[in-house]
Amino acid sequence: MALPSVRSEVRVAILLLSVLSASLVGAGQDSGSAIPAESRPCVDCHAFEFMQRALQDLKKTAYSLDTRTETLLLRAEKRGLCDCFHAIH
């Protein structure tokens, strides 16, 4: 159930990066509003930070899914052992 949310997070990240790159291309084409490179924020740094945060969110989601899977497997094993024990006695 959490898997679609991971996919949606990735889609949002891709969408934001494409919007960011499109705005940079559009800004570069405006001849009257050029901002000197020294005063512009480092776009690569901001994109890297954004992707780093997105990766951390994905890692947390993956860990959560892994933990839930382990819990469900342990419950299934316990249930199987209990059923087996009751069938013997």
Q: What is the DSSP string of 43-83?
A: HHHHHHHHHHHHHHHHHHHHHHHHHHHHHHHHHHHHHHHHH
- What's the domain range around 42? 3-88
Place of tokens 């899914």: 65
Instruction: Out of 32-41, 47-56, 76-85, pick the least confident.
Output: 32-41
- Residues 6 or more apart whose CB falls under 8 angstroms from that of 17 comprise 47, 50, 51
pLDDT band per the 50, 70, 90 thresholds, residue 59: very high
The Cα–Cα gap between 64 and 71 comes to 11
Determine what percent of the chain is predicted with pLDDT higher than 90.
Answer: 24
DSSP state of 88: H
pLDDT tens profile 64-75: 999 999 999 999
Residue 60 pLDDT > 90, yes or no?
A: yes
The total number of structural domains in the chain stands at 1
Model confidence at 1, pLDDT cuts 50, 70, 90, reads: very low
Give buried/exposed letters for 38-66 (b at 16+ CB in 10 A, else e). eeeeeeeeeeeeeeeebeeeeeeeeeeee
Residue 57 has pLDDT above 90, yes or no: yes
